[in-house]
Amino acid sequence: MAKRLAYLGPRGTYSEQAAIDHDREAEHVACTTIPAVVESVGKGLADQAVVPIENSLEGAVTFTLDLLIHHSDLKISGELVVPIDCNLLVDGDTKMEDIKAVYSHPQPFGQCRVYLMNNLPEAEHVASFSTAGAVEDMRNSTVPAAAISSARAAEIFSARILDPNIEDVPNNQTRFVVLGEEDHVRTGRDKTSFCFDFESDAPGTLYETLGELAKRGINLVKIESRPDRRSLGRYVFLIDLEGHRDDEHVQAALEGVRSRSSMFKILGSYPMAANSSSE
């Protein structure tokens, strides 16, 4: 029996495409929310989960980051980068001038901000749980509406593409991570993700902590911060670096960061995506 791979459904979402790209032979399990995708592994409903973590236009998917930091012990075991085609979908003979509301997941609204401003400045933006679910929301709307979704969703749900590829920047990509009970064994071409915070703030604290990587010649691929949820102005830092947690120099650097931190959590080591920007 093929392994079960959870994703943010329904069929036709970019998350489903990521699940197919990761493992076409798996049993793909659609979930209604990102927390449900993650929880499905802990509940034994799936063996792995695929969730979006970063978009090339809108940046971090903060909902996913906060789940990994605060609410999940699952490890990142893989990553993949999926091209995103944002299309304006309608039903029947709906025309641009008819549209009073646009439905989509919050991320595509940001990815198509300029297009919507120029073409549908008066239309209401209504958030849906997923880009594919936006098609159903569009059909249930009490006013003439459109949805921002994928070409695959248009095909699956028999919607019409009124305007294709409406994203503001053509090279629109989303990075997805694969979550499971264990991360990935060392391959020699790996990335490690971890997070940490400090008990108190002082000049040079973050600089000196990052020095644990620099003095060992480790390339820092990405750094960002999220509120630590304890007080305003306090943050959790998230880092992606080149290398595996079992590499001797990476292990030493991680221990150095851990010794300077209040909270420290390794999110996983995993092979870099073939089309990763860190190449």
219 domain-assigned: yes
CA 272 to chain centre: 15
Residues 225 and 239 in one domain: yes
Residues 79 and 35 in one domain: yes
59 domain-assigned: yes
**Contact at 8 Å (CB) between 166 and 87?**
yes
Which domain range does residue 107 map to? 87-163
pLDDT at 2: 54
| Residuewise pLDDT in 10s, the chain (279 residues) | 459 999 998 888 999 999 999 999 999 999 989 999 999 999 999 999 999 999 888 888 988 999 999 999 999 999 999 998 899 999 999 999 999 999 999 989 999 999 999 999 999 999 998 899 999 999 999 999 999 999 999 999 999 999 999 999 888 899 999 999 999 999 999 999 999 999 887 888 999 999 999 999 999 999 999 998 877 778 999 999 999 999 999 999 999 999 999 999 999 999 999 766 554
Of 226, 234, 230, which Cα lies nearest the Cα of 53?
226
pLDDT at 253: 97
144 domain-assigned: yes
Residues 148 and 124 in one domain: yes
276 domain-assigned: no
Residues 79 and 91 in one domain: no
Residues 97 and 77 in one domain: no
Among 163, 198, 225, the domain boundary falls at 163
Classify 217 in phi/psi space as left (phi over 0), alpha (psi -120 to 50) or beta. left
123 domain-assigned: yes
Q: Is 194 a catalytic residue?
A: no
Residues near 58 by beta carbon (within 8 Å), at least 6 away in sequence? 107, 110, 111
Residues 226 and 154 in one domain: no
Q: What is the C-alpha to C-alpha distance for residues 201 and 205, in angstroms, rounded to an integer?
A: 7
Residues 205 and 262 in one domain: yes
Residues 145 and 214 in one domain: no
229 domain-assigned: yes
| CATH number of the domain within which 133 lies | 3.40.190.10
Catalytically annotated residue among 176, 196, 198, 237: 176
Residues 33 and 52 in one domain: yes
Report the side by side order of strands in the sheet with 235-242.
220-227, 235-242, 190-197, 263-271
Residues 217 and 156 in one domain: no
Catalytically annotated residue among 13, 64, 131, 174: 174
Residues 196 and 265 in one domain: yes
pLDDT at 279: 47
Element (H, E) at 177: strand 173-180
Q: How many domains does the chain have?
A: 3
Q: At what angle do helices 205-214 and 248-260 cross, to 10 degrees?
A: 170
| CATH number of the domain within which 253 lies | 3.30.70.260
Q: Is 129 a catalytic residue?
A: no
Strands (E), the chain: 4-8, 27-31, 48-55, 59-60, 75-83, 87-90, 101-104, 124-127, 145-149, 160-163, 173-180, 190-197, 220-227, 235-242, 263-271
Residues 96 and 156 in one domain: yes
Q: What is the pTM of this model?
A: 0.85
168 domain-assigned: no
Report the side by side order of strands in the sheet with 87-90.
124-127, 101-104, 145-149, 87-90, 160-163
pLDDT at 272: 95
217 domain-assigned: yes
